[in-house]
Chain A
């Protein structure tokens, strides 16, 4: 099998071959292998349930690929809701002619991520569509997990609560942007794509109860902060010099006229905490590779409800707006 053919999505022998050779081999577990129309699972309630679809160009980038992205994205959404991630579903939409070896790589990286925290794919689906109908491969993944930490919500932030960001912001967005073939920028920027379950679990074990958690994916840090400011009807004050941004990412932003705060992240979260929890939380987060650059960067305030205020290193202030429209480079 060199390339995926329309026949591989036809429901016949070819499809079974693809499923057996690749998906079952990699994702093998007793629930999946029963091959029923629906998976039967047991969970402690309450549960968290999420779904996400993944499209990315290029499919393979520095620090991950679409497979890793699908697992990490779905798992992190569960984690942000206070859940311990348990089971995933996985639907592939594959373009006719897609290389089998590339699909193998994608599935392998999904498997690698799932093994790290013991989540399993328990249901799946494969469609092959004619050339040009999708861009290589699209993945949809739903996930379910058991809530282990209650009352995490973007609606509960109050004036005086402090904000921590777990990593440098903008790495994933900048990495993807730089890798686009029409951009022609050589850089070593690596996507932050990473599972956040371990550090979050460690926070719970240290007795920290986060008020709100959100992974800063599309729309980046700006989107999270603006959504929180509106949801909790508070102002958010962020100190620019405390927001970690990799030098390479800032450089890319300078060249093209973007804001690192608007770039997507795939393994970076924002935490709202009680002030007294902040130093302990930072200590815990700094113990993990994926959150070791965590930084306390902001505070919720009573003024400017629904708005985010960014303070420059020289003390002047401006609003940080949520991103709008396509990311387009400046003209001159």
Chain B
């Protein structure tokens, strides 16, 4: 790693940039213009966020608060846990633990810095990760392994069998940093009684582990409070997601990013509720006017992302969708499979509910919520398991009137890469053109955004979609 990189704390660098950005919302246009002269690389991303008005500034504030929590955790006697995007942070918030969601931390480096997380990704390789290991983990983890972030107190992961590269990264980090590590496991099936019981028992063990690490008991009232907030958030989300069915789609493309980043870091916290309320308001306004959420063009095509988005400086992917008139219908990351969502009604035994009446029902709710998170419920084995990735993608693409389905991941996403071609064939058979992107969502050096967008344009043009 370059010596100058070692001079700065990763969390502080991201946090301080977001701190300034969070205060920009009340500024005049002239002030913003003046300020952006000092942030030549971040200004592209910032302008895409500010284009969303109050929703954009609220999202920046949410990120600012998240980083503030990380940076002040230890001085406030809170513990920090590394977690993955496949794990709900609600329990952590209920137990006053600050969750560091590694994928979000790596993704933000890509969105905020011209150099992305390159130095940290490479440092991960210097330590022993392979270049095809999970880049979404390796980026931020590189910083923590180098001692350049806030100290991680312990690690919790729930991806063995779901995403082994992810699970291996956690195992590696735990060994390297000599920190305690808890791993939730998953049976092959979803929704049956045996599996539900397994999740509940496993989740109880997780709580025991967290109690040991924090030296504190689980406050049942606080847990109820957090879960009620999640319940409220799920209701708003279900309402927002219903609007994907409309043509034109009134949901701005960037809202997908807001939905899942918010959920991965702030589920159960009021700041996420505030963001969702503002988003819903905006979407309702667009729907009432019968207009698209796109900023520059009329809706020309509707794309369903069957896996993840692409995270590079200037939010290139989202900006490109906007400028080409392509609606984003969400993807695996923006869904939560709550029992009140329209899309989940077709997928039997794939949902969770929230019941805050007793401690036991709350634990059941939490464990089931966790078992339906992105990846965890979808990609847990062969692609053709009933109601998993393939069926849910086809069902969502139909429900939202998608024109095509696009896969994007990273070379480390072996659980999806291993089956993406048969998956694509089946989705094509169902009537949706499929494009497989070859780049890395978190590392532009694998395939530059320019090449990626060329291939996307080619696909859309050849298949007659644009």
Is B one of A's binding partners? no
Q: Could you tell me which A residues sit within 8 Å of B by CB distance?
A: none
Interface residues of B (CB under 8 A from A): none
